[in-house]
Structure 1
Amino acid sequence: MRHDGRPLSIEQAALQALLRPIDESLFIGAILIIFNKSEKFLGDLVTGTIVIRAQLVVKSANLTISEEAKSSYMTLQKISYLSQLLPDDFTIIREYLQRSNGIPNKGKVSLSIKLS
């Protein structure tokens, strides 16, 4: 994914694939990750893609749901057709919500619109 939330073009994906052996064989990627705050490989820097770190989600047994969230749930339940969503759709939405803090605002807006 690019910084603006759009998917990679074929050219960008090909460029990343061509640069990957350089990153791995010459340890350039490791050096860049160590000294680059955003932990990007050479291919990520050249193509302008973001790095999304998968975080381990710790599920809490004591989840508190606010009254506002309950009210929103009831409203959404009345006006939406969630039965049309497939399990894969819920997975995509869950992944987006878990990773949204690491996505730049411009990309977040674009992805939010697509998901809605």
Structure 2
Amino acid sequence: MKKIRITTPENIEVEYTLADVGSRTAAVVIDTLIQSVILILLLVAIVLIRYFSPRFWEGYYGWIIGVSLIVSALIIYGYFIVMELNNNGQTLGKKVMKLRTIRTNGQSITLKHSAIRNLFRLFVDMLGIGVFFIFFNKQHKRVGDMAASTIVIAENDKARPVTLEDLQESNSNFEYYISKEEQELIRDYLERKNKMEDCERLQEELKKHFRKKFETLDILSDFQNFIDSL
């Protein structure tokens, strides 16, 4: 798989493995199947209403159809957004295939990024244009990724001995002095450190970054155990 190096806003260089076309396609197939099941259940509900409550259907069929169309649109478009925002860039399909969507600067995606990339998925990429761009783009981006400044990376499958939650518990001031962006970077590092070829280099960069930060704040002694745990 192709590797890519990204310099984060904290000026730390991180290496990622780009997701290939096969794994991304498999993830989309899984997500599409899940959406299809939900839409089929919605259709079954409409049929049951028409069959068992004909009077209700005759009186409100316009509302029923209208609401059903809105719900269907939300399922088709909103599914990816809701899943990506609540699962750190992963839909159920991506989770199965161990993929994740991030921003091109290494940070987690926001509502804006997810909404843009999935809007293009709905109106452009579903026509096959997205796959075409993945083949010929150096960062394996489809049109939606280009518009939203996102990339899809492959996650590591090895267990990690230390988690972000472990580090949070080690210091009561963790949330106060370490930004959300830094927490995302730490979490990503811990999840992938066992499989990274340049783990020691990145580890030293992280320690150097936090050591300098805490020295400036004159709280290095309070966070020394945190730095040693990285």
Tell me the TM-score normalized by structure 1: 0.48
Relative to its length, the structure with more strand (as a share) is: 2
- The structure with the largest alpha-carbon Rg is 2
Which is bigger in relative contact order (C-alpha 8 A, separation at least 6)?
A: 1
Q: TM-score, normalised by structure 2?
A: 0.27
